[in-house]
Amino acid sequence: MSEHPISIESPRMREFGRVNWRGLWTLYQKEVRRFLNVYTQTLVAPVVTSLLFLAIFQLALGGGGRKVAGVDFSSFLVPGLIMMTMAQNAFANTSSSLVSAKVQGNIVDLLMPPLSPAEQALGLAGGGVTRGLMVGITVSLAMWVFVPYSLHAPLVSLYHAVMASLMLALLGVLGGIWAEKFDHIAAVTNFIITPFSFLSGTFYSIERLPPLGQTLAHLNPFFYMIDGFRYGFIGHSDTKVWLGMLVIAGVNLGLWLVVHWMLKTGYRLRS
């Protein structure tokens, strides 16, 4: 026993302003490192899958110089496949991050730090958007080797790439908060995300659909992001470009508000 008690200064609380930049940056980095750590599955595998899709559709339906929307079938297919892959990966990143954190119990690492709901949402979604864009760039480069393309309006494509990744990342946060185990998120992927991304004009122009199908397609936000992204490549779109940009911005705003509300109230996260 020491006669002179040593005074230990209690650690001071870290101070920060209106935004906890360091906390936000840390969460974002954690989300990015999580998928970079298994890059064969998160970056390379999507490239292989999308190239295989390109191959089978080109081999099955692209014969005889077939044209869709005024361009070769393969040129039509490329932007659709890039967008589909980006969307699926952005969704997978946020949803799997939240569900595995819940299952393993390290969700407290997200809930305990002094992060506001907006910072939490931004950090999570930022990771999803980063994965979506990184996958998008890799897939674009890989496809260019097989189907050289030029860009008609790169900024329109960039806008849609970012906004679509954000939309799916936010949907993934939403799904991840709702789901209690991996089965639930697999069900959301199988029964919602895959059907929407398959049936939204990735593989065909919606002019081919019956009138009812066309009406339904126009109610589907996935249709606008694929259509707008493709416009940036081939200069043809099934609907007005500015309308698509507005719709997807509106959807993102709505999703942001829902996610923010969920994180704020602790829906399915805090007891």
Partner 1 sequence: MGNVVPNPPAPREFGRLNALGCWSYFRRGLLRFWRVSWTSILGACVSSGLLLVVFMIAGREGSLAAGLSIAEFVAPGVILFASSMMAFEGGATLMLEDKIEGTIADVLMAPLSTGEMLVGMVLPPVFNAVATGLAVFGVTLIFTDFSFSAPLLSFAFLILNALFFALVGALVGLWADKWDHYGGAQAFLMLPLGFLSGAFFSLDALPQIGKVLVYLNPLFHSVDAARFGLTGYGQSSALIGAVVLISLSVLLTIVLWRLVHSGYKVRP
Residue numbers at the binding site for partner 1 (CB under 8 A): 38, 40-41, 44-45, 48-49, 52-53, 55-57, 59-61, 63, 183, 186-187, 190-191, 194-195, 198-199, 202-204, 208-209
**Closest separation in Å from C-beta 251 to partner 1:** 22
Nearer to partner 1, 28 or 223 (CB): 223
**Closest separation in Å from C-beta 145 to partner 1:** 17
Nearer to partner 1, 41 or 150 (CB): 41
Contacts 24+ apart (CB under 8 A), 43-47: 43/134, 43/135, 43/138, 44/138, 46/85, 46/88, 46/89, 46/135, 46/138, 46/139, 47/85, 47/135, 47/138, 47/139, 47/142
Question: How far is it, in rounded angstroms, from Cα 244 to Cα 218?
Answer: 10
Question: How far is it, in rounded angstroms, from Cα 221 to Cα 160?
Answer: 11
Nearer to partner 1, 83 or 125 (CB): 83
**Closest separation in Å from C-beta 201 to partner 1:** 10
**Closest separation in Å from C-beta 76 to partner 1:** 10
Question: How far is it, in rounded angstroms, from Cα 124 to Cα 35?
Answer: 12
Buried (b) or exposed (e) across 176-192, using 16+ Cβ within 10 A? bbbbeeeeebeebbeee
Nearer to partner 1, 193 or 245 (CB): 193
CA neighbor of 119 nearest in space, from 248, 26, 251: 26
Nearer to partner 1, 74 or 120 (CB): 74
Q: Which residues contact 25 (CB under 8 A, 6 or more apart)?
A: none
Nearer to partner 1, 149 or 196 (CB): 196
Nearer to partner 1, 41 or 265 (CB): 41
**Closest separation in Å from C-beta 27 to partner 1:** 24
Alpha helices, DSSP H only, in the chain?
Answer: 21-36, 39, 45-61, 73-104, 108-111, 117-146, 154-178, 182-188, 194-198, 211-218, 221-234, 241-265
**Closest separation in Å from C-beta 18 to partner 1:** 40
**Closest separation in Å from C-beta 25 to partner 1:** 27
